[in-house]
Amino acid sequence: MANLTQASRELFSRPPDERFESLDALTEHCRSQRELSRDRWQLPQTFRPHVHGDRLGLALGDDGAFLMNDWSATQLCTMAGISKDTINRLSPDTACRALQETLPTADKPVQLLTTEQIIRSIHGVSYTRLWNEELLRMIRESATDFQPPPKGFNGATGLYAGEQDFFVFLIDPTGWIEIEGENFAPGFFGWNSEVGRRSVGITTFWYEQICGNHIVWNCHDVTSVTRKHTRNVGDALTEIRMAITQLVDRRDATRDQFTAVIRKAMQEATGDKEETLHLLTDQGVNRQLAKKAVELAESRGKRFTIWSMVDALTQLSRDSKYAATRVEADQRASSLLALAA
């Protein structure tokens, strides 16, 4: 079983203005952002960098002058072959002249996405955009029973959208199963970028617990689908819809099958303390880690079963500050659970 940290990274990196309280609010934001955005096509030799106050701007032929955000400025520097860090160390006038002298000429136009007077992104002709609104609409149609997880410790909901990308974390509260006090449910992460900052994709999973940091613990059957923003990026909608549909379709079957595996693991004894140590080492758990797992289960007053060992290894993974120990504990816990399948 794996512990997924993508949603936790989003929780810590997103400022308040990129967090949304509900799917309705996020949908409205994505719809509005699409309506206000416009694609423009210009040859790069028509670009005219200029200084606007203390900021760098870009005039686009007959389309007028625009300001840039951090992402589009990075893309412009890449096009000019100059590090953005170098440009940032120059005065605005010097930076403007440097870009004027290094921007290329080309026979094919460049694709620019603007919102009001801001350039959101700059791409070549091979880039194909997928709007956040399109992805979110499909997700809501396919995953009608899914909703955001409980709010994180800082109030974040798992629903995010900013200048550069979009991320949703959804769970299905109707999919919970309880077996002798242990709960499991389906969920997924979905993401996209209208400006090419990241791929479009989805990760589906079954999980046991979500903490206040939005780390998803003890995940089973983790599957990912990703696509780059090239000509066939629209196919991603079909593939993501299929991934969600499979998660939903398998919900009842997985519930019955997974319930049987966990129940068997909870009932199947591993023997006494020494026999349990031998079982763990036979499954590839190093002696020191195996001893800690047995002692942890014993201190909790639990009898030695496959599940109590899986639970102990998982807890040791959570508590360890060493990545190698965490990986080994998670892998060995997964192999142990397979014994009950």
User: Residue 12 CA to chain centroid, in angstroms?
Assistant: 13
Query: For every one of its 341 residues, what pLDDT tens digit does the chain have, with 9 covering 90 and above?
Result: 689 999 999 999 999 999 999 999 999 999 999 999 999 999 999 999 988 887 888 999 888 899 999 999 999 999 999 999 999 898 888 999 999 999 999 899 999 999 989 999 999 989 999 999 999 999 999 998 899 999 998 889 999 999 999 999 999 877 777 655 567 789 999 999 999 999 999 999 989 889 999 999 988 888 898 999 998 888 889 999 999 988 888 777 766 777 778 888 888 888 888 999 998 888 888 888 889 888 988 888 888 998 888 888 878 877 776 656 666 777 777 778 778 77
How far apart CA 299 and CA 273 sit, in angstroms, is 12
H-type alpha helices, the chain: 6-13, 23-36, 70-80, 84-89, 92-102, 132-142, 235-267, 273-282, 287-299, 306-319, 323-338
Q: Residue 50 pairs with which residues in a beta bridge?
A: 57
| Whether the predicted model's global pTM rises above the 0.75 cut | no
Residue 265: half-sphere exposure toward Cβ, Cα within 13 Å: 24
How far apart CA 333 and CA 283 sit, in angstroms, is 9
The residue with tokens 């709010």 is: 151
Angle between helices 235-267 and 132-142 (to 10 degrees): 40
How far apart CA 40 and CA 114 sit, in angstroms, is 7
Angle at 140 between CA 138 and CA 142, to 5 degrees: 70
The answer to whether residues 325 and 292 touch, using CB atoms and an 8 Å cutoff, is no
Task: Give the model's pLDDT for residue 182.
Answer: 66
Task: Give the model's pLDDT for residue 6.
Answer: 95
Nearest to 116 by CA among 76, 69, 66: 66
Task: Give the model's pLDDT for residue 42.
Answer: 92
How far apart CA 8 and CA 73 sit, in angstroms, is 28
How far apart CA 214 and CA 79 sit, in angstroms, is 37
Q: Which DSSP category does 305 fall into? A: B
How far apart CA 142 and CA 242 sit, in angstroms, is 9
Q: Which DSSP category does 144 fall into? A: T
